[in-house]
Amino acid sequence: MNSNLIKERIEAFAKKDDRINTEILNEITLYIYCSSFPDNDIFFLAKKFNNDVLFDLISYADGEPIILPDKMEFRNNYLVAICFYMKEVLDMTWTEIKEVLNLPEKDKDLISSISIGKKINKLKKKFSYDIQKLLKQIKITDIRDIVKEKEQLDERIRKDK
């Protein structure tokens, strides 16, 4: 029996029986996690995430390590993603991007149009390569099906007007 099934059964029981206090149940669960797994991060994760997220993480990892970037790598990539979106999707200038982000003086150098611009160009090349790879995998019949579906959708939209 997997953990999701147990969770579903407890949730169903809690709906029928008002004696169940989920807060107390969660606190007992946290205590048991802390006692049973002193050498891993389950206690910390259980305090930070709801049970659904925790169950998904455990199902995904299943005892294997989850590798995460350090805080600086995460922050830098997050900034690249934001700048990419603002620059390429919203068509903003670097000045506009810097105004919107309004970083403190000590962090202003994080938004360097040169270094982030290079990363954005590299990302655009990767996107282009990935799209080309995907297009090569699509069969001509797939494209015809897509066109046919689009035409049918357009027709339905015209009829609804």
pTM above 0.75, yes or no: no
Q: Where are the domains of the chain?
A: 3-61, 71-136
Per-residue pLDDT of the chain (161 residues; tens, 9 = 90+): 466 667 777 788 888 878 777 778 777 877 777 777 777 788 788 888 888 888 888 888 888 888 888 888 888 888 888 888 988 889 999 888 888 888 777 777 777 778 888 988 898 898 888 888 887 777 666 677 778 888 888 888 888 76
| Cα 120 from Cα 112, distance rounded (Å) | 12
Distance CA 64, CA 58 (A): 9
In three-state secondary structure terms, 93 is coil
